[in-house]
Structure 1
Amino acid sequence: MSASVRTLVRPAVLRTRRGRLVYWSVLALALVLFTAAFIVPLYWAATGAMKAPAELARTPPTLVPETWQPENYARAWREMDLGRYFLNTVVLAGGAWLVQLAVQVPAAYALSKLRPRFGNAILALMLLTLMMPVTALLVPVYLTVVDVPLFNRNLLDSPSAVWLPAAANAFNIYILKNFFDRIPDDILDAARIDGAGPLTVMVRVVLPLARPIIAVVSILSIVTAWKDFLWPLLVIPDPAKQPLSVFLQRVAQDTPLNILMAGLVLASVPLIALFLLFQRQVIGGLSAGGLKG
């Protein structure tokens, strides 16, 4: 006898005409509201960038530009020299992504499959950092970057000042470990019987099976590094080396509002495109429950 499935609405209610009407009405309303919450800000920014400054500052605002000025995007790219800051952002986000994978994947694999002594205590201490406010960690991390222990190096104005702290991400390690825990040990034991060492098992067995969750971690890492503002502002004081998030805030007071909004839209396009291209991998990776032995 199959177990009954508990739902918010009883199946008997859904079989009635009124029940179906109420259910689909509420569902449609929720979808419309959530879609509007995401689409309206994007529409407002994209169309606001194509308005004249006077129209953009008008109260009440116009929903559709009276005079379309799509050339504002080209002006923003040219006058604000966005190409340089796009490159800076790509270097910071790409490097942070690679460093995070190089540190977090082996750490999660070790905690999950190698089971070191005090592994649970180490994981608990990692997760404890998630309960702390980000601002509480700024000062100790900044002092570490200014004078790296043992090496006595100052990493300010270096991409390493962004890359290395990004590697210490307890959330990514946790979700990776959670996925690795669900990979059957029989598969790993078979590889060990064939003479594979721990590193070979990780590279040739675990990583191919973990591609969905690695894709999720990769996208989260890139998005976080791309839109980060406070930390790059602190550790990259040189204006020529700053990413888009810091640069746009720095020039906001001296830039026409429509040009600034065009720059903000251009800075958001890569993240939107990344999500649209890999949304299936994100959803699939987050919903993956491991493998069945």
Structure 2
Amino acid sequence: MAATFSSQNRTLISSAALNRPKGRIAYWTVLTLIVAVFTLVFLGPLYWMVIGGFKSAQEVVANPPTFIPKHPQPSNYHTAWSQLKIARLLFNTLYYAFGALAFQLVFDVAAAYAISKLRPVFGKLILGGMLATLMIPAAVLIVPQYMTVLKLPVVHFNLIGTPWAIWLPTVANGFNIFLLKRFFDSIPEDLMHAAAIDGASPLRTLWSIVLPMSRPILGVVSIFAVVNVWKDFLWPMLVEPDPKQQPINIGINSLSQGVPENVLIAALAISAVPTLLIFLLFQRNIMSGLTAGSLKG
């Protein structure tokens, strides 16, 4: 009987070739080179930034550059922390980030729950419109957003220089709503019907059943919300002119006049630490949350 061959078992290199000594050597050589190249590409700039903070001002601009500081100066980081008021800028950034997170959790969860479980008449059309906004470059929306917060429609409030100018544009996040909606779709309808039979209102069902089951995706949305505010540059620079109230990326830029380049690089390295820690600590949560809800059980 002829052996059947499944297309799912096809690979670039056959298992028989990999079992040979030359095949294993070639495989591990290529794999090691690929991993080394991608590691260098992704970690190279980070390494360059960190060691730049240890160099002197002359060594930073030296040509050819040095890959290891000749005379390390750890005091550059202390100078950056005190001279650029990093502690205050970090507090501002946390304030904006967690404020945006609170609004996103309230409004994005409500929008996703309504589209997924309450199913309004034009729910699919609304979701399609939200997803269509993801196709629009963020830079295109800068001018209309700025005109909106400059004179808020109906109430005619000027939000420039207030945290609301940073918080409100982050609320309508089509990507987060889509992630939440996909996860809510995976929650069995039997649970929803059982809650309705017991007399639970849609709001009570959301609070008592849906949200406790949605912790993985809520964690992912929370991380995305914090990181998006943390790394944003152009919008906070436009709507928050006071350097003392700016987030860290903008504050470093505003307070960097007359600061040596090595101290400025040290400040940038400090500003990158929180987001790196968030990724390293929660990378498993990010991956599990993104894949959660992709298959219905």
* Shared fold per TM-score greater than 0.5: yes
- Structure 1, 255-264 or 12-21: larger mean CA deviation: 12-21
SS at match of 1:252: coil
2:185/2:293 contact within 8 Å kept: no
The residue aligned with 2:77 is 73
CA–CA distance in structure 2, aligned partners of residues 50 and 267 of structure 1: 15
Selected match of 1:36 from 34, 40, 54: 40
Q: Where does structure 1 lack aligned partners over 5 or more consecutive residues? A: none
Determine if contact 1:127/1:170 at 8 Å carries over to the other structure. Answer: yes
> What is the CA distance between 1:159 and its match in structure 2?
0.5
2:192 corresponds to 1:188: yes
Distance change >3 Å, CA 58–CA 273, structure 1 → 2: same
Q: Deviations over 1:91-117 (max 9, x none)?
A: 111111111111111111111111111
Q: How far did 1:119 drift? A: 0.6
- Give the C-alpha shift of residue 291 in structure 1: 6.6
1:51–1:67 contact (8 Å) kept in structure 2? yes
Aligned to 2:225: 221
Does the CA-based 8 Å contact 2:84-2:256 persist in structure 1? no
TM-score (norm. length: structure 1): 0.94
Which deviates the most, 255-264 or 77-86? Answer: 77-86
Output the amino acid matched with 2:8: V
Asked if 2 retains the 8 angstrom alpha-carbon contact of 1:145 and 1:156, the reply is yes
Give yes or no for the alignment of 1:55 onto 2:56. Answer: no
Task: Provide the residue aligned with 1:45 in structure 2.
Answer: 49
CA distance in 1, matches of 2:37, 2:65: 21
Query: Partner of 2:31 in structure 1?
Result: 27
Cα distance change of structure 1 residues 290 and 259 upon mapping to structure 2, 3 Å threshold: same
Q: How much is the aligned-residue C-alpha RMSD, in angstroms?
A: 1.9
Percentage of identical aligned residues = 47
Distance change >3 Å, CA 191–CA 28, structure 1 → 2: farther
1:183 touches 1:290 (CA, 8 Å); kept in 2? no
1:92 matched residue in structure 2: 96
The match for 1:234 is 238
What is the rounded CA distance, in whole Å, between the counterparts of 2:198 and 2:11 in structure 1?
Answer: 50
- Deviating above 6 A after TM superposition, structure 1's stretches of 4 or more consecutive aligned residues are none
1:287–1:2 Cα change, 3 Å: farther
Unaligned 5+ segments in structure 2 are none
- 1:264 is aligned to 2:268: yes
Could you list the per-position Cα deviations for residues 249-271 of structure 1 after superposition, in whole angstroms to 9, with x for gaps in the alignment? Answer: 22334210011011101111111
Alpha-carbon distance between aligned partners in 1 of 2:18 and 2:218, rounded to the nearest angstrom = 40
Could you state the TM-score of these two structures normalised by the residue count of structure 2? Answer: 0.92
1:290 offset after TM fit, Å? 5.1
Equivalent residue letter for 1:175:
L
Contact 2:59 2:65 in 1 (8 A): yes
Q: Secondary structure of 1:5's match?
A: helix
Match of 2:114 in 1: 110
1:5 aligns with 2:8: yes
How far the C-alpha of 1:225 sits from its partner, in A, is 0.2
